[in-house]
Each structure stands twice: as C-alpha cells, then as structure tokens.
Structure 1
Amino acid sequence: MTTTQREPVTRVAVLIPTYDERENLPGIVARVRASVPTADVIVLDDGSPDGTGEVADALAAADPHVRVVHRTAKEGLGKAYLAGFAIALEEGYDAAVEMDADGSHLPEQLPSLLAALAEADVVIGARWVRGGEVRNWPAHRKVLSVGANVYTKVLLGMHVNDATAGYRAYRTGALRAMGLEGVESQGYCFQIDLTLRAVRAGLTVVEVPITFVERQVGVSKMGQDIVREALTSVTRWGVEHRLGQLRAVSGRVRDRVPAGERP
C-alpha cells in the first residue's frame, strides 16, 4: 500500500450522511454529480424527521447514480460512515469519499481530492495547511479548531495538520488495512481515530488544501459531548503512544547491557 504504484481510481462512492438536511441535500447532490459525473452518491439518512429521506428517495428515482440507505435511528456520523464504507468495500468501489450534506465541503473541490489518490492511500481536505481556508467562522472557533489539531498532532506524533477534517477520500484497500472493526467514536473523534489508524497502518496520508464554508441553512449537529469525547480519547491515545515509546526505549537500553550486568 505504501508504494507509489497504485491502481487507478475509477469507481467512486461519495458518502453523504444526513439528519434533517432536506433543504441542503438536493443542491449538494446536484453539485457532486456535476463535479464528478462518474461518481455514485450514497445518502445515509438516520431516519430524519424532517423528510430528508423522502427527498433523497426522489433524487435517487431521478438519477441512477444516487441511492439511499435508510437507517432507523440517529446513530451519529461515525456509524453512518462505517455503514457506507461497508457498502463501498462489498460492492468493489475503488474509493470512498466522506462529505457533509450542509454545504461546508465544496463538491467542486472533489476532483482535487480524487486526483491526489494517484499518490496516496488517504487524502484529507485540509483547512489548516497552506492554501486552506475557512469562511464564516468566528475567531474563537478557528482558535479552538487549530488548537485541537496542534494538540492532536503533538500528542499522537502524527504529521497530519488537520486530523479533525471531515472531507476525505479513502482508497478502499486502505479501509481494509486500517482495521475498522471496533471503531465506536463519533464526530471529530471519528476523524482523528481513522487518521491514527491510517498512519499506524503505514499508509500514505496526504493533505490537499480546501475552502471550508460554514453552513447557511440548518443547525450543526456537533455538540459539546462530541468535543469532550475527542479530548478524552486523544488524551488517552496520546498517553498510550508515549508509554509505548518509553517501553521501546527501555527495551533498546536493556539490549545494550550485557546479560550478566542486568539487574
């Protein structure tokens, strides 16, 4: 997986989780279809009470490249994406894309993410790299996001600058190598979890600058519980990472000490 010779990406599944996004969904799907006409769009609706599922069904009825997975309960972003990954793996897609339904991820930038898969296993649409941009966020939210990513990068020892980013493209071979069994995290933590799994699996992860645009319609689903989960999990993973490093150093030191001189 880490060699530069990679199979071409031809079959792409764009996964769009939804919960109460009936106003945003038609425009996003239309823009994805215009930006990458060969891609299939899979809407993963968590039983939206506002009728998003019915809107998605109408889109699917009019376009064979669109389908809907009706999930019976609101289980969160992570569970929805895992269900989408399972479909992409089972049906032989070359790549699976994570994309929000609220318009914050610009479908027009999807070709850039897919092009980067020519030399990568995982491509992250990054805000906090040269060329990246965030529109319509207050200063305190930018500070919080940058700080969270710096904390994650330093504590986990990863080279990724925007591990919480949710606009991504994965080769399906990478998803297999990452070992998704047992992933329970949600929101920001889900994205960090998958990034960490990719890095630890020795996969090539690259960041492509994107423009992130805050939603204009609807309400964000990201609550304080999601933020707390991310902070708690990253801290735990970071402690485990540092302890692992210390054990490795200790083992190397013991190897250098003659057996007769060891305590």
Structure 2
Amino acid sequence: MPDASRTHLVLIPSYNTGERLFSTVEAARAQWNPVWVVVDGSTDGTGERLQQMAAGDPGLRVWLLPHNQGKGAAVLHGLRAAREAGFTHALTMDSDGQHPADLIPAFMNASQARPETMVLGRPVFDASAPLLRVRGRRVSNGWTQLETLFAGVGDSLYGFRVYPVADLIAVMARQPWMRRFDFDTEAVVRLAWRGVKPVNIDAPVKYLTAEEGGVSHFRYGRDNVLLTWMHARLMVEFVLRLPRLLWRKARRLPPFQA
C-alpha cells in the first residue's frame, strides 16, 4: 500500500453503484492513500458494507449522506471535510468503474508539480462508448471553450480530475448550482474564470455493460436539459463579465473571480 499523503486524496462520490463500487474502491486504494467515499443516499446497501470495509483500513474513510443530493453535493461534502483535515487537493473519480485507477499516481504527481492548476482527464474512448454521448460532449466542449475564452480545457465532462480544494469550495459557495450532473462542466468553467489553469492528461474511459456490472444514472433527456440550462446561465454570465476579462487580460492582470 502507498504511504499516506498529507495533501492529496482520492474522493469518490457514489449512488447505487452496486458491486462495482467495491472493485473501484479497491483499485483506488491499491494506487493511493487516502481514499474517501461519499455515499450519496444509496439504497442498495453498499454504504453499510463499505463502512465495514473501512473499519479494517485506516486509508479508507466513508460518509453516508441521509438522502440523495446529487454528485456535486456529495463532492462538496467531501471537499469540506478534506479542507478541515488539512488536505489541499482532491482527485475525483466515479464509482462505476469507468475511470482508470492506475493513472491516479500520474495525475497526483502532475498536481503536486503544479499545485496552482487543475489536472483534467482528457477521455480516450474505445468501442464501448455510446456514439450519442460522444457527439453530445463535443457540443458541451465547444460551449466550454467559448465560456472560458479558450483557456485550454481539454474536456468539460470527464470527472477524473484533481481539483484545488479551497478554490473549488470557493466557487461552489457563491452560487446554488453545480450540485447534480452539471457539476463537472461548471466546475472547470468557474475555476478557469478564477484563474486556475488546466493541465490536460489523456485517460481511457470504458463504458461497462450491465453484464460487466456497469451502472449508469445518466438520462439523456433530463441531463441534457440540465446541461443546456447550465450553459445558458454560464453564457449570460460570461457575456456580462467579458469586457472586464478582456480589459484585465490586455493588461496581463489576474482574471476575475468566479
């Protein structure tokens, strides 16, 4: 097992992921210490079983939220606990086995080398990726490039990332959004507005079948409406901020705060 880091932790939000959660956590623990899991009101019994697992592993901590609040809310819960414990950075990864646990050390090393940045996974898809979702994220990425004034965000939706804890808490505390599926995209936009530069690293993503234990809570209609509403809000705010941003950029001043 790796030695415990005092600054960087792995943070996994989970909601009704079933058995796949345990293999995800085991894979993460094999690569990093500590690993924290926020169980977001799951009703499948995984939270209680994971607590039993954590009882014998000092590198694993588990929080059980009383009801489902959304991915962003679960991440925020973990971030606040991380800040209280003195951690400065958190690598978020999904609990459904899509993200490459073996790349955790590389992402953490990149963050430790440049702690002022956010280290973003840039997905490399294989044949398991649904074509509709691949095309849909191109649209979201295009809007994100515009909203960040082409700051270099490689992908707006891939949730395998290392965030600076204090910066992300600050941008989430200022508004009521980013609590559900809109979290990943809005987080990179608002952090870019805050002046947190992206570092992009290629990482594979695998869409598991039901036979492989894959679980997805993505709903095309509901979640695409949420993303559309999110980009509409961000574009309005971006247009209002644009004159000031260009003025500061021309004078090479720090960007405006998100």
TM-score (norm 2): 0.82
The answer on whether the counterparts of 2:71 and 2:181 sit within 8 Å (CA) in structure 1 is: no
Q: What secondary structure sits across from 1:116 in the alignment?
A: helix
Q: What secondary structure sits across from 2:12 in the alignment?
A: strand
Map 1:75-224 onto structure 2 (within 5 A).
75-117=69-111, 118-119=113-114, 120-127=116-123, 132-159=124-151, 160-175=153-168, 178=171, 180-215=173-208, 216-223=212-219, 224=221
The answer on whether the counterparts of 1:96 and 1:172 sit within 8 Å (CA) in structure 2 is: yes
Map 1:27-38 onto structure 2 (within 5 A).
27-36=23-32
User: Distance in 2 between the 1:247 and 1:10 partners?
Assistant: 38
User: Distance in 2 between the 1:221 and 1:164 partners?
Assistant: 15
Larger radius of gyration: 1
The letter for the 2-side match of 1:161 is: G
User: Distance in 2 between the 1:121 and 1:43 partners?
Assistant: 23
The answer on whether the counterparts of 2:14 and 2:38 sit within 8 Å (CA) in structure 1 is: yes
Aligned to 1:245: 242
Gaps of 5+ in 2: 248-258
Aligned to 2:41: 47
Deviation per CA, 1:126-170: give whole Å up to 9, x if none. 11xxxx334511322211112221132124424213112211111
Q: What secondary structure sits across from 1:238 in the alignment?
A: helix
User: Distance in 2 between the 1:222 and 1:138 partners?
Assistant: 12
Q: Does 1:227 align with 2:219?
A: no
Gaps of 5+ in 1: 1-8, 251-263
Fraction of identical pairs, as percent: 29
Q: What secondary structure sits across from 2:55 in the alignment?
A: helix
Number of matched residues? 236
More divergent stretch after superposition (87-96 vs 140-149): 140-149
The answer on whether the counterparts of 2:120 and 2:160 sit within 8 Å (CA) in structure 1 is: yes
User: Distance in 1 between the 2:13 and 2:237 partners?
Assistant: 31
Q: Does 1:71 align with 2:33?
A: no
Give the CA deviation at 1:249: 7.9
Aligned to 2:254: none
Deviation per CA, 1:31-57: give whole Å up to 9, x if none. 111112xx2111111231111112211
Q: What secondary structure sits across from 2:13 in the alignment?
A: strand
Q: What secondary structure sits across from 1:210 in the alignment?
A: strand
Q: What secondary structure sits across from 1:157 in the alignment?
A: coil
Give the CA deviation at 1:217: 1.6
Q: Does 1:22 align with 2:18?
A: yes
The letter for the 1-side match of 2:89 is: A
Classify 1:174/1:240 alpha carbon distance in 2 versus 1 (closer, same or farther; 3 Å): closer
The answer on whether the counterparts of 1:121 and 1:174 sit within 8 Å (CA) in structure 2 is: no
More divergent stretch after superposition (216-225 vs 47-56): 216-225
Classify 1:72/1:231 alpha carbon distance in 2 versus 1 (closer, same or farther; 3 Å): same
TM-score (norm 1): 0.81
Classify 1:241/1:94 alpha carbon distance in 2 versus 1 (closer, same or farther; 3 Å): closer
Give the CA deviation at 1:213: 0.9
Give the CA deviation at 1:247: 7.6
Give the CA deviation at 1:103: 0.5
